[in-house]
Amino acid sequence: MKDLAENNLIQFKNIAKKKEAIYANFRVNGVRAGVSFSASICVDIAAAEVHAGDVLEKIIEECARIGVQEFKKAEFQFEGVKTAL
């Protein structure tokens, strides 16, 4: 299970407009090394270098690409848990 896009489900939910920006929202569900996880990813369409006038498929595709890329690079830490190295 090395490729997040092939082994876990990334699902487009919607496009949401807030005061400051327009966001593409995605839901991630998967299992890796016996750990089940779910997450939400919200991508500002301006960060994907697309705008509201573009075709919806292009907006979703570019935002999904950026969302997956950043999700793969993310490092998570449990709140209140300190690890000793």
56 falls within a domain: yes
pLDDT at 32: 75
Structural domain count, the chain: 1
83 falls within a domain: no
66 falls within a domain: yes
38 falls within a domain: yes
Range of the domain at 68: 4-73
The b/e string for 40-78 (b: 16+ C-beta within 10 A; e otherwise) is: ebebebeebebeeeeeeeebbebbbebbbeebeeeeeee
pLDDT at 1: 46
30 falls within a domain: yes
pLDDT at 66: 92
Per-residue pLDDT tens digits of the chain, which is 85 residues long: 455 545 678 899 999 999 888 999 999 888 877 778 888 999 999 888 888 888 999 999 999 999 888 888 888 777 777 665 5
